[in-house]
Structure 1
Amino acid sequence: MDRLTNFIDLIQSRIAFFPTIISLGGLLTAFFMIYLEQQDISAHIMEVAPALVIDDTDTAKTILSTLIGGLISLTVFSFSMVMVLLNQASSNFSPRILPGIISDQKHQIVLGLYIATILYNIFILISIEPTENSYQTPGFSVLLGIILTVLCLAAFIYFIHHISQAIQIGNILTAIHSRTKSEIASIIKEQEMNTFEFPSQDYWKGYKITETGYFYGILNDDLLELCKENSIKVIIQLHKGQFILDGTIGFKTERPINIELQKKIMGTLLFSHEELIGENYVYGFRQISEIGVKAMSPGINDPGTALNTIDYLTSLFLDLMRKADFEYITENDQKNWVRIKSSKFSEILFNVMATYRQYCKHDITLMRKLMHMLKTLTNHVINSNQLEVLEEEINELRADANINIENKRDLGKLDADFISWS
């Protein structure tokens, strides 16, 4: 990631990004059509296809005024639907999934098309001058405005369909799962060619962070360039998503460095006052877990959704087991210059299981599903440490079940093979 890529990623996640760009396109189209009308384009088209040109000024004004009013109502209704969608998703699932819905480019493009067409029609309406000339009315521009409005109606139909699909929990889980799986897969692909060679850090010099906020990424290209220029290796002590306080040891170097280089290295670390998903796969586990736990709340009471979330988590954990404990920034010759701290399999598994055990410990179906997930993972362990972690979680799950489930028949089914009926 470089500075330009980081900036583009940030602005693209804003709901106003594409509407702003498309609206400017509508504005420029209006000015271009006004210029063509001054070149009597409507008069030329009138000679070839008179049926396509509206040559009555009052009719043109009426049509444009009607289109503007109708599109404003359509835009308000569509924005209202987006707000209802966000509120419902936050209440029923998790507030953490909102950035993914807001950054949906399809919603932004539809809303941008509405605003661009409104601006186009407004400026074409303003360009109509009170005159008696036969071809002063911008007939062809009005026709284009009608065509754009028809496209807006078609986009509205698509918008209704897409927004009804976006709020379905199955599609939300699938999107989170796909994004998280892709992020883990990219890390695994990079580590396949890695030698994992890195010097011991016993006597390295640590430096404090002067920022406060959520650490969400690194400008890899800039940091790699600094390391190569100064022939120094760096260890980043932060992991993505961690809230950093001023004074936290943020990075270590193999030898002491001057203040100027400290500031340059610190400038490659990205912080924000809000949690940004970015390329942080941990948020995928967190979001799916929150959806599953919230589904078990008394107000929602949807164990079927909770069962589905465990299926998606099982798939992600199988991939996560293949990821190394550290990530590296590597040169083309496979030389590691930077080692980055990342969340370990044991840490993520504990957080997920601790959350589910707390809220699902009275439900034998979910406890069986969790036990099935853990036993499935034991069949795919990469090393003995993972097996030890899984066996510990199995024992904790069994202990919680013994305490909270009184029915002995249910307890007897805890270790049986789980056959999903959801």
Structure 2
Amino acid sequence: MGRLTKRKSQGEWRRAMLLKEAENKIKTNFWVLPALYGAGAVVLAVLSAGIEHYVSQHGSIKNGIPSMFFTDKELAQTVLSAISTSLLTMTTITFSSVLVVLTTFLSQFSPRTLQNFINDSKTQLVLGTFIGGYIYSLVLLSQVKASEQNHTFIVPSFAILVAIICLGMFVFLIHHVTDWIKVGNLVANITKETLVSIEKHNKGQEMTGTPGEKTVDLDSLKSTGIMSKKRGYIEYADIVELAAFAEANELIIKFEKVPGEYVDIDTPILTVWSDTDLLDDEKLLDFLMISPTQEVMEDIEFGIQKLVEIALRGIAPGKNDPETAINCIENISQILTKAGKNYSPSPYYYDSQKKIRVILEKPTFSDLLYSSFYQIRHYGKADVSVMTSIINALTLIAETNREAIKQDVWEFSFYISEGMKQQDWLDMDKKYLNRRLNKLASSCGRTAEAITLT
């Protein structure tokens, strides 16, 4: 708990949160990075024109540069005009490619997966490079027209170098878009993103305790409700810093809305107990990040929801692609396996003096299991391969986790087997499923009689 004594000052924390919020806005707004590249291209074009002027004024430098890099005014205008036109065409093709991918995501996967492609910095980088190259060529073209005193120009060589870079980025874009359309790569990307969010979600788990151990009399303290000043989703809350702030100011803070939930202006978001009437709402709200779009920064369930939706599209009657569903289930098992390692359902976070400072209600691990598989179980209940993959996923989660998680998995397996018993399986299907159920029971340290199909 030594980290609580080395916490950031309120000003440092506010700056860090503002920086994190700005970074999140840049990622979620598709136009920001291309706009920055466009502005940078203008600056680079002005610098290139300055170099052109400097070289033209110093004959010794100009003589030291090979003549192949210089062109006359007419050729310079022709080259720059051709480059700018070509880059505009490539930019148009890029937009068309992006729209094709977005349409594919909407129709084949899930509307929620659009964010993964739009927020991808590589796509924004390619688009920004094309826009920057186009603006760079246009600005240089206007500079060449204005420079009547020069007989030869070096800036077309700069533009040719930019065009070569843009051509390489175009090839990269084709490869990148092809990778993104592959459902396996999309599923892996969502899984990776969610696994990272688990690390953030687990921050401060060592500060948790059980309700029986950490009791407190709140009746003797004054209760104050803190209302949201923004509308959107709670994307991030740093529990460690919030607990340190509560310890320093002798507060007890309860979350009325948890990360991942939507709040509106004046929605109760925190309840604070203290022995003083002086509370600064803004300081407490600085520890939260609220965004208009839902992300998986700390919301594990949102990442799982994306994978579930892709799986449901795969087993839909009009598509009949159970392998996609199986791939999603396997990745969900990875997420739940990691989530179960340090998962604590306790809502209580305490300080270095073992006093409760933050109360944050969280779903139990059983709730995570249910939200992950109940829809897939319902729509894939008659598919042997889908039900087998669910059993295998539960087996993997139980094999690599502690006894408490094994117990949750075992209790959840009754729900899965109950649904399976309502289906009319063929004998061979039943034998195959029972073998998998036996393995699941063994991984939980139980016997399989209670969940065996008869």
TM superposition score normalised by structure 2: 0.81
Which deviates further from its counterpart, 284-293 or 320-329? Answer: 320-329
Distance in 2 between the 1:237 and 1:383 partners? 31
- Of residues 382, 407, 415, the one that matches 2:402 is 382
Indicate whether 1:165 and 2:184 are aligned: no
Indicate whether 1:60 and 2:57 are aligned: no
Question: Which residue in the other structure is 1:284 paired with?
Answer: 303
Distance in 2 between the 1:309 and 1:240 partners? 24
Structure 1 residue 320 displacement after superposition: 1.4
Map 1:268-279 → 2, pairs under 5 A: 268-279=287-298
Question: Which residue in the other structure is 1:77 paired with?
Answer: 93
Question: How many residues in Structure 1 have an aligned counterpart in Structure 2?
Answer: 415
Structure 1 residue 237 displacement after superposition: 3.2
Which deviates further from its counterpart, 106-115 or 394-403? Answer: 394-403
Q: Is the 8 A contact 2:254 2:359 kept in 1?
A: yes
Indicate whether 1:343 and 2:363 are aligned: yes
Tell me the amino acid that sits aligned with residue 100 of structure 1: N
Tell me the amino acid that sits aligned with residue 391 of structure 2: M
Indicate whether 1:302 and 2:321 are aligned: yes
Tell me, what secondary structure is at the counterpart of 1:254?
A: strand
Question: Which residue in the other structure is 2:10 paired with?
Answer: none
Indicate whether 1:150 and 2:151 are aligned: no
Distance in 2 between the 1:291 and 1:311 partners? 13
Structure 1 residue 182 displacement after superposition: 2.5
Distance in 1 between the 2:239 and 2:60 partners? 57
Tell me the amino acid that sits aligned with residue 126 of structure 1: S
Distance in 2 between the 1:203 and 1:328 partners? 14
Distance in 2 between the 1:225 and 1:391 partners? 38
Which deviates further from its counterpart, 143-152 or 177-186? Answer: 177-186
Indicate whether 1:30 and 2:42 are aligned: no
Distance in 1 between the 2:145 and 2:387 partners? 74
RMSD (Å), alpha carbons: 3.1
Tell me, what secondary structure is at the counterpart of 1:342?
A: coil
Question: Which residue in the other structure is 2:225 paired with?
Answer: 207
- Of residues 393, 399, 420, the one that matches 1:401 is 420
Indicate whether 1:362 and 2:382 are aligned: yes
- Of residues 266, 273, 279, the one that matches 1:254 is 273
Q: Is the 8 A contact 2:234 2:290 kept in 1?
A: yes
Structure 1 residue 214 displacement after superposition: 2.5
Q: Is the 8 A contact 1:2 1:221 kept in 2?
A: no
Structure 1 residue 274 displacement after superposition: 3.0
Distance in 1 between the 2:226 and 2:353 partners? 31
Indicate whether 1:2 and 2:2 are aligned: no
- Of residues 238, 257, 263, the one that matches 1:244 is 263
Distance 1:230 1:130, change over 3 A: closer
Distance in 1 between the 2:70 and 2:126 partners? 28
Question: Which residue in the other structure is 1:88 paired with?
Answer: 104
Map 1:130-149 → 2, pairs under 5 A: 133=149, 135-137=150-152, 139-149=153-163
Deviations 1:24-44 (A, max 9, x none): 221111111222222244855
Distance 1:170 1:371, change over 3 A: same
Structure 1 residue 93 displacement after superposition: 1.1
Distance 1:240 1:148, change over 3 A: same
Structure 1 residue 408 displacement after superposition: 4.1
Structure 1 residue 123 displacement after superposition: 0.9
Distance 1:271 1:364, change over 3 A: same
Deviations 1:213-249 (A, max 9, x none): 4222226687456425522131223222123366765
Tell me the amino acid that sits aligned with residue 35 of structure 1: G
Q: Is the 8 A contact 1:113 1:152 kept in 2?
A: yes
TM superposition score normalised by structure 1: 0.87
Distance in 2 between the 1:334 and 1:40 partners? 71
Structure 1 residue 74 displacement after superposition: 0.3
Question: Which residue in the other structure is 2:26 paired with?
Answer: 11
Q: Is the 8 A contact 1:219 1:270 kept in 2?
A: no
Structure 1 residue 331 displacement after superposition: 7.2
Which deviates further from its counterpart, 359-368 or 11-20? Answer: 11-20
Name stretches of at least 5 consecutive residues in structure 1 with no aligned partner.
none
Tell me, what secondary structure is at the counterpart of 2:74?
A: helix
Tell me, what secondary structure is at the counterpart of 1:15?
A: coil
Q: Is the 8 A contact 1:224 1:338 kept in 2?
A: yes
Structure 1 residue 87 displacement after superposition: 1.5
Tell me the amino acid that sits aligned with residue 82 of structure 2: T
Structure 1 residue 179 displacement after superposition: 2.0
Distance 1:336 1:178, change over 3 A: farther
Name stretches of at least 5 consecutive residues in structure 2 with no aligned partner.
1-15, 440-454
Distance in 1 between the 2:281 and 2:147 partners? 70
Q: Is the 8 A contact 2:110 2:310 kept in 1?
A: yes
Distance 1:132 1:352, change over 3 A: closer
Question: Which residue in the other structure is 1:183 paired with?
Answer: 197
Distance 1:230 1:372, change over 3 A: same
Tell me, what secondary structure is at the counterpart of 2:236?
A: strand
Q: Is the 8 A contact 2:315 2:325 kept in 1?
A: yes
Distance in 2 between the 1:208 and 1:403 partners? 49
Distance in 2 between the 1:56 and 1:375 partners? 73
Tell me, what secondary structure is at the counterpart of 2:24?
A: helix
Which deviates further from its counterpart, 351-360 or 402-411? Answer: 402-411
Deviations 1:55-80 (A, max 9, x none): 32111111111111110000010111
